[in-house]
Amino acid sequence: MVRPRTRKRNQEAEPGRFPCQHLLLCFPAFQTRKMDLLSNKWIINLIVCLFSIGVGCNSVEKKIYVHLNYTVPCVRLLNATHQIGCQSSLSGNVGVLHVLESEENLDWVLRSGPNPPYLVILEHPLFTRSIMMKLKSGSSRVAGVAVVASNTVPPDGFSPHTTCPNENSGVYSENYDPALAHCNVTVWNPLGNGLAYEEFDFPIFSLKDDNDTQVIRQCYMEHNRAVNGTPQYPLCAMQLYSHMSAVTDTATCMRRNDINFSISPEMVCDPLGDYNVWASTRPLNNTAKGHKDGESVVIAAARLDSRSFFFDIAPGAESGVSGFVTLLAAAHALRNATQESLPPRNIFYTFFQGETFDYIGSSRMVYDMQNDQFSVDLDNVHSVLEIGQVFNGIISSLYHVSRKNSSVNDEVRKLIDNLQSAATAAGVSADEPSFSQPLPPSSFQRFLRDRQIPGVVIEDHQSAFSNRFYESMYDNAEYLNVTYPPNLTPEEQLEFVTDVAKALTEVATMVAKALYMQAGGVESQLSNIKADPQIVTGMLYGFLVRSNNSWFQQLLPSDLISHLADRPTNFYVGVAQQSSEPTLLVQYLLANLTGTTPNITQEDCQNQRENEKDTESKHMFTYMWVQGAAPPNSTKREGFCVRSTVRLSKALSPAFDLKEFTSKDYSTWTESRWKTIKGRIFLVASHELEMLTLGVGFGILISSLLITYIVSSKADMLFSSGREPTNATY
Amino acid sequence: MNLERLPNEEKLSLCRKYYLGGFAFLPFLWLVNVVWFFREAFVKPVYSEQLQIKTYVKRSAFGLLLWVAVLTTWITIFQHFRAEWGEVGDYLSFTIPLGIP
């Protein structure tokens, strides 16, 4: 029912403009010098007229414009050498709508159409590199692009990322295995078209296929379709605002951030970054940084973030969620075993943020370890086990680097043996790739840059990614087959164990067992280690469908509940100042899944202590007061305290601490700031009509000025009949 | 102040003040001087102080033109090359435009 009303607003747009132009007629009346009864009346009329127009102006605006409700822009990001993304001019880009039907149809936009610039509406299948590049090269006739996302996953795959993710920031370079650098052996993401790393000088928005797009289509059909060659005015047009403040590269924008002697100093960009989340099986003194004697640590890593072409849609189902959900489930599976018999080595569950953008999180952790800013240092690291994309839970590939160093090789062999025996026990197949390959893009590469640490990366692909939607908006629940039988309530969906959850549970069990063996745990505990499919399916539901569910609500403190939302989580890392939703969720999930619930009061819990005299525990543990569930016959939740070893560590690229904005070693990605992001549609009159209206307005203004002048200079003659000259007032 | 009502000596002293004041990097004083005293210097019938006023007005006009020429050249160069100069350009700028190099 919304549709007819918005349509009507549209049709009224043209007449809606005229009331304001009556003002031109009225204004000169002010200049009448002689105050007599007649002009007094005029002025009162005028004031009433002005008042009513002033009040009515809002509705005039509404009559002219239809604002788009759901607008997701592509924004500008910058690194040491480039800017990528999109931007509009300061006052928004206006273009006549053109719904693109096929690639051949581009000719209308780029050459033959009579009313440039055009604002192109694309269906998602047409959002390809070839079309976008043609539009980019013909950008004098293109005002912007709006992409209508389809509700179904495209069958052929789509990835706006590059074919070789994090090509220049991994371990392989000209100095280290140059034969493997730049994806020479394996192109990891063959479907990548690189669109997300292009620069466009017009705005690109994503629209949902809903009422807004219906209005746009209808407006286009009624006004812009060419009947007998050329479309007739008025034409339907769209205006998109996404003006970006930063420009050129990170060095430029960070410098401009610091120049503050102008009248209104303004920040133009912010570094990308967030927090890494980590927890250890054995509590460590987190206040004392640097090397810990006698400590040997197995790092179990996964990455948290993802991205897509557009700013705040990054579902990252396979590229991020599958890996870290598996690690969370493995951490949970290990809770009981480690409580009963603590293995001699410590296990660090580590979740890295910002890995999409040249390994922000892992490079920072390694940097902190090198500079004694972290709880352990690199000498304490025994080995690394990283979980990559593991959606396809049946086949797992184990990647490792083979180096000449034989002691490291022996350790890697042991780790692989551990994994394979764990895999057999968990009913999963895990093999090494059939031919010698480099490591896929992974956080582990940042550790290898510093030194030879034995490690393995678990993936679900033998060579190229099996993920056909790497870092795209379609890497979502639907693609991962996280679907539920119809007629389930949200509560039932949360409980329902999907096939994907079952598969990931098996992988989690394998990871947990392997980690336990790797940490030197006793064989007898191995059979007790089992991941819980209920936990896995709950997490998949929470991250891919709706984070605002009853389970997540119980795990968070009451003041953070507002961060939960009724949509899939957005895994774009965002700027360093704001802690993002995924970090928060993983932090509390990890605490609840690995921690214990000591019986202490809310006050002590919030003050990070066991009791009033305790000042030591806060160095070893984190205490969180979460709101818990309400008992069956009550509405008041019963909160409880969670004691865990979960900590956050900064995931801000060291380049920003070192102020090396052109660094080749560290990520230099920044995000531009902006003021307005919005879009609206309206009808435009022809250029001639606009000029004519303006000309007539000016004509009336000039002639009324003339008349006023003549009347006032001849006033004595015109108004003198039977009255004294009004000189008494002067 | 109405110049018509001033005695000629005061006109001269006023014109001199504006002329000398302009040397304190205040070209607008010279502009005012030129506009204000143009009639006195070149249009009014001859009087004894007029010659001196004429000199001041001419010199003010010359100084003003010099300022205009220098400023125009600098502004043109600056606007044209600011982006190219990069760091130097930014530090020379009082307000940096958003979203353009």
Do A243 and B91 count as a contact with CB atoms less than 8 A apart? Answer: no
Residue A29: its pLDDT value, please?
Answer: 35
The C-alpha torsion from A434 through A436 and A439 to A445, rounded to 10°, is 150
- The whole-angstrom distance between B68's CA and the closest CA on chain A is 25
Residue A180: its pLDDT value, please?
Answer: 87
Task: Please determine, for residue A717, whether its predicted confidence score (pLDDT) is greater than 90.
Answer: no
Q: Is B100 on the interface with A (CB under 8 A)?
A: yes
Residue A498: its pLDDT value, please?
Answer: 92
Task: Please determine, for residue A9, whether its predicted confidence score (pLDDT) is greater than 60.
Answer: no
pLDDT digits (tens, 9 = 90+) for A153-177: 888 899 999 999 999 999 998 888 8
Taking one residue from A and the other from B, the number of pairs with CB-CB distance under 8 angstroms is 34
Residue A167: its pLDDT value, please?
Answer: 92
Query: Is there a contact between A342 and A281 (Cβ–Cβ < 8 Å)?
Result: yes
The CA distance from A273 to A382, in Å, is: 27
Residue B101: list chain A partners with CB under 8 A. 247-248, 252
Do A243 and B90 count as a contact with CB atoms less than 8 A apart? Answer: no
**Mean pLDDT, residues A618-626 taken together:** 94
For chain A, the structural domain boundaries read: 1-57+703-730, 64-158+193-258+677-684, 273-595+645-652, 597-643
Do A264 and B91 count as a contact with CB atoms less than 8 A apart? Answer: no
Q: Percent of chain A scored above 90 by pLDDT?
A: 63
Do A243 and B98 count as a contact with CB atoms less than 8 A apart? Answer: yes
As a whole number, the mean pLDDT across chain B is: 92
Do A246 and B100 count as a contact with CB atoms less than 8 A apart? Answer: no
Task: Please determine, for residue A259, whether its predicted confidence score (pLDDT) is greater than 90.
Answer: no
List the single residue in B95, B96, B99 with the smallest CB-CB distance to A243. Answer: B99
- The whole-angstrom distance between B65's CA and the closest CA on chain A is 29
The CA distance from A287 to A355, in Å, is: 26
Band (A724; pLDDT cuts 50, 70, 90): low
Residue B87: list chain A partners with CB under 8 A. 255
- Nearest C-alpha neighbor of B78 from the set B65, B94, B63: B94
Residue A198: its pLDDT value, please?
Answer: 95
Band (A489; pLDDT cuts 50, 70, 90): very high
| Strand pairing report for A142-149 and A455-459 | unpaired
Residue A84 Rama label (left phi>0; alpha psi -120 to 50; beta): beta
- The whole-angstrom distance between B74's CA and the closest CA on chain A is 20
pLDDT digits (tens, 9 = 90+) for A503-515: 999 999 999 999 9
- Nearest C-alpha neighbor of A237 from the set A109, A91, A88, A96: A96
Question: What pTM was computed for the model?
Answer: 0.85
The listed CATH number (3.40.50, 1.10.3470, 3.40.630, 3.40.390) that belongs to domain A273-595+645-652:
3.40.630
Q: Which of A206-210, A330-334, A586-590, A718-722 is the least confident region? A: A718-722
The CA distance from A499 to A510, in Å, is: 17
List the single residue in A245, A247, A255 with the smallest CB-CB distance to B87. Answer: A255
pLDDT digits (tens, 9 = 90+) for A377-424: 999 999 999 999 987 655 567 777 656 677 888 888 888 888 888 888
Do B101 and A263 count as a contact with CB atoms less than 8 A apart? Answer: no
The CA distance from A470 to A166, in Å, is: 13
Instruction: Provide the 10 A C-beta neighbour count for residue A46.
Output: 17
Q: Which of A188-197, A336-345, B91-100 is the least confident region? A: B91-100
Q: Which candidate in A93, A255, A671, A677 is best for mutational testing of the B interface (most B CBs within 10 A)?
A: A255
Task: Give me A199's structure tokens.
Answer: 């620069």
Residue A87: list chain B partners with CB under 8 A. 99
Band (A312; pLDDT cuts 50, 70, 90): confident
Band (A69; pLDDT cuts 50, 70, 90): confident
Band (A20; pLDDT cuts 50, 70, 90): very low
Give B 50-89 residues with CB within 8 A of chain A. Answer: 86-87
pLDDT digits (tens, 9 = 90+) for A82-141: 999 999 999 999 999 999 989 888 999 999 888 889 999 998 889 999 999 999 998 899
Task: Please determine, for residue A11, whether its predicted confidence score (pLDDT) is greater than 50.
Answer: no
**Mean pLDDT, residues A372-379 taken together:** 94
Q: Which candidate in A252, A257, A674 is best for mutational testing of the B interface (most B CBs within 10 A)?
A: A252
Closest A-chain CA to B83: A248
Residue B82: list chain A partners with CB under 8 A. none
- CA distances for A533 relative to A33, A333, A428, angstroms: 87, 10, 15
Q: Percent of chain B scored above 70 by pLDDT?
A: 99
- Nearest C-alpha neighbor of A495 from the set A486, A484, A481, A507: A484
Residue A727: its pLDDT value, please?
Answer: 55
Residue A238: its pLDDT value, please?
Answer: 95
Do B86 and A245 count as a contact with CB atoms less than 8 A apart? Answer: no
Task: Please determine, for residue A606, whether its predicted confidence score (pLDDT) is greater than 50.
Answer: yes
- The whole-angstrom distance between B89's CA and the closest CA on chain A is 11
Residue A25: its pLDDT value, please?
Answer: 34
Closest A-chain CA to B85: A252
Residue A433: its pLDDT value, please?
Answer: 83
- The whole-angstrom distance between B5's CA and the closest CA on chain A is 25
- CA distances for A41 relative to A30, A59, A614, angstroms: 12, 28, 83
Enumerate chain A positions whose Cβ falls within 8 A of a Cβ in B: 87, 90, 243-248, 252, 255-256, 259, 261-264, 266, 268
Report helix, strand or coil for A681: strand
Instruction: Provide the 10 A C-beta neighbour count for residue A308.
Output: 29
Residue A39: its pLDDT value, please?
Answer: 59
The alpha carbon of A54 is separated from its chain's Cα centroid by a whole number of angstroms, namely: 40
Residue A12: its pLDDT value, please?
Answer: 34
Task: Give me A54's structure tokens.
Answer: 């002033």
List the single residue in A245, A248, A259 with the smallest CB-CB distance to B98. Answer: A245
Q: Percent of chain A scored above 70 by pLDDT?
A: 88
Q: What is the ipTM of this complex?
A: 0.80
Do A244 and B99 count as a contact with CB atoms less than 8 A apart? Answer: yes
Report helix, strand or coil for B74: helix
As a whole number, the mean pLDDT across chain A is: 87
- The whole-angstrom distance between A245's CA and the closest CA on chain B is 4
Residues 6+ apart with CB under 8 A from B66: none
Closest A-chain CA to B100: A247
Residue in the structure block whose two tokens are 């004031």: A47
- The whole-angstrom distance between B96's CA and the closest CA on chain A is 8
Task: Please determine, for residue A14, whether its predicted confidence score (pLDDT) is greater than 70.
Answer: no
Query: Is there a contact between A262 and B95 (Cβ–Cβ < 8 Å)?
Result: yes
Do B90 and A259 count as a contact with CB atoms less than 8 A apart? Answer: yes
The CA distance from A159 to A134, in Å, is: 19
- CA distances for A688 relative to A22, A101, A112, angstroms: 20, 30, 20
Q: Is B45 on the interface with A (CB under 8 A)?
A: no
The CA distance from A531 to A513, in Å, is: 10
Helix (H) or strand (E) holding B32: helix B27-38
pLDDT digits (tens, 9 = 90+) for A541-591: 999 999 999 999 999 999 999 999 999 999 999 998 877 899 999 999 999
Task: Give me A153's structure tokens.
Answer: 């996953």
Do B98 and A268 count as a contact with CB atoms less than 8 A apart? Answer: yes
Q: Percent of chain B scored above 90 by pLDDT?
A: 67
Q: Which candidate in A88, A259, A264 is best for mutational testing of the B interface (most B CBs within 10 A)?
A: A259
List the single residue in A252, A259, A268 with the smallest CB-CB distance to B91. Answer: A259
List the single residue in A244, A245, A262 with the smallest CB-CB distance to B95. Answer: A262
Query: Is there a contact between A325 and A569 (Cβ–Cβ < 8 Å)?
Result: no
Task: Please determine, for residue A676, whether its predicted confidence score (pLDDT) is greater than 60.
Answer: yes
Do A262 and B101 count as a contact with CB atoms less than 8 A apart? Answer: no
Dihedrals phi, psi of A153, to nearest 5 degrees: -75, 130
HSE-CB for B82 with a 13 A CA cutoff: 16
List the single residue in A87, A248, A266 with the smallest CB-CB distance to B101. Answer: A248
Residues in chain A, total: 730
